[in-house]
Amino acid sequence: MGEGQGVTGSSAAPPAIRRGTPEFMRANIAFFLAAFSVFASLYSVQPLLPMFAQYWVRDAGTASLALSATTATMAFALIPASMLADRLGRRRLIVGALLVTAILGAVLPFTQVWGQIIALRTLMGLTLAGVPAVAMVYLSEEMDPDALGYSMGLYIGGTAIGGMAGRVISGVLSDWLGWRLGTGILAGLILIAAVAVAILLPRPRQFVRDPIRLPDLWRRCRVSFDDAALPWLFASAFLLMGGFVTLYNYAGFRLALPPFDLSHAVIASIFLVYLLGSVSSTWAGALSQRLGRRKVFWILVALMGTGMAMTMLGNTIVIIVGLAIATMGFFAAHGVASAWVTRRARVGKAQASAIYLVAYYLGASILGTLGGYAWTAWAWPGVMLVSGGAAILALLVAIRLVFVAPLPVPERTVAPPPLLP
């Protein structure tokens, strides 16, 4: 049975993918590679922003559009992509999105003007949305319940490692070989991974067509804003991601200047602290289960703000430690908030998670670009005005959530949506 046919109500449902089977191994490798490819592509330009500002444009704010244009279009494409998957099928959308993204990445080194870079990165945002929009749905439909937790954890791990690797590989190679050859090599690796996904990813066996009409989609999205906590959680996604991306967008600009004078390769290697974020999100999830999200969330946001404040000092080691602390706080807070969204959304869980991710990426786009103009005007204190200001507002939102009445039903463990490094 082809993917487009789905599972009919009169036919017996085929067995789910179980641990220890060849399909289980193939699916897990495929989704790890898919997550790696998406987030390596998305964030590969972040360590290159100082180069772009030096050779292509005159200010950091305009240079940041190489990342902000991608995250903005990705934000707006998430919900349409999820609807498209119900028509085309999960596997077709995932494989198609990865292959087109890899091709666009391979074209990037041949651009000659700044407008071509922005156009390609904007198109990449549209194609990249195809994977996170449906990956968790595919896994929840196809995997046996006993295998689902492992598979989702591996996928989320792929997002974190991909985001880190994309930054480190492109930054180091661009410092040694130039940004064109550096991004070209990374695009080649992503193309190989995309082809591997096309070969390895099993055809869905549990897929059932359930196309949602626009009026129904609007009603499901609107319900989320009737909840006492969800709008505040959406606001926290915007502020947390916006502040965090702003911090990293312009840390490279600062560390490349006197008195630090670090090379692009060394600056790119600082992104290895993302590994701490992967550990902290798992730790925070377990802690919130024991103590409650309300008691933990605001502390994690405050931890992120503390790390940001440390970067105001002039010592390189202190700045790197501050970035590490901010990274741990961000990933931990995001992990708690994303799981909280699925807990609060009693109707339209998929739509609530999508709105959260839309706010998440919009924060990266809007505040990330605003931070660039603040850097141009006031250097690092300007960046802290945007990034630190977002952290302070996020802390106020987290404190407000402490006083939101809990739902009357007992909580259950729900896998969070994929974390964006």
| Structural domains present in the chain | 16-199 (1.20.1250.20), 213-404 (1.20.1250.20)
Higher pLDDT, 128 or 412: 128
Q: State the pLDDT confidence band at 291, using cuts at 50, 70 and 90.
A: confident
50, 251, 419 from 257: Cα distances, Å = 10, 10, 32
- The closest alpha carbon to 142, from 22, 24, 2, 11, belongs to 24
Instruction: Please tell me which residue, 380 or 281, carries the higher pLDDT value.
Output: 380
Q: Which residues of 270-295 are buried (b: 16+ CB within 10 A; e: fewer)?
A: bbebbebbbebbbebbebbeeeebbe
Higher-scoring residue by pLDDT: 419, 174: 174
C-alpha–C-alpha distance, residues 185 and 127, integer Å:
20
Least confident of 34-43, 253-262, 267-276, 390-399: 267-276
Closest CA to 387 of 277, 297, 294, 308: 308
Give the model's pLDDT for residue 2: 47
CB 364 within 8 A of CB 243: no
DSSP-H helix ranges across 225-315: 230-255, 264-269, 274-291, 293-310
Considering only CA atoms, give the Rg of the chain.
21
pTM over 0.75: yes
For position 418, what pLDDT does the model report? Answer: 45
Cis before 259? omega within 30: yes
CA dist., res. 419 & res. 354, Å (int): 13
| Mean pLDDT score, 79-102 | 86
- Res. 210 pLDDT band, cuts 50 70 90: low
pLDDT tens per residue across span 386-407: 999 999 999 999 999 999 988 8
Residues 7-17 pLDDT 10s: 444 445 677 78
Task: Tell the residue number behind the tokens 């050779």, with chain if given.
Answer: 55
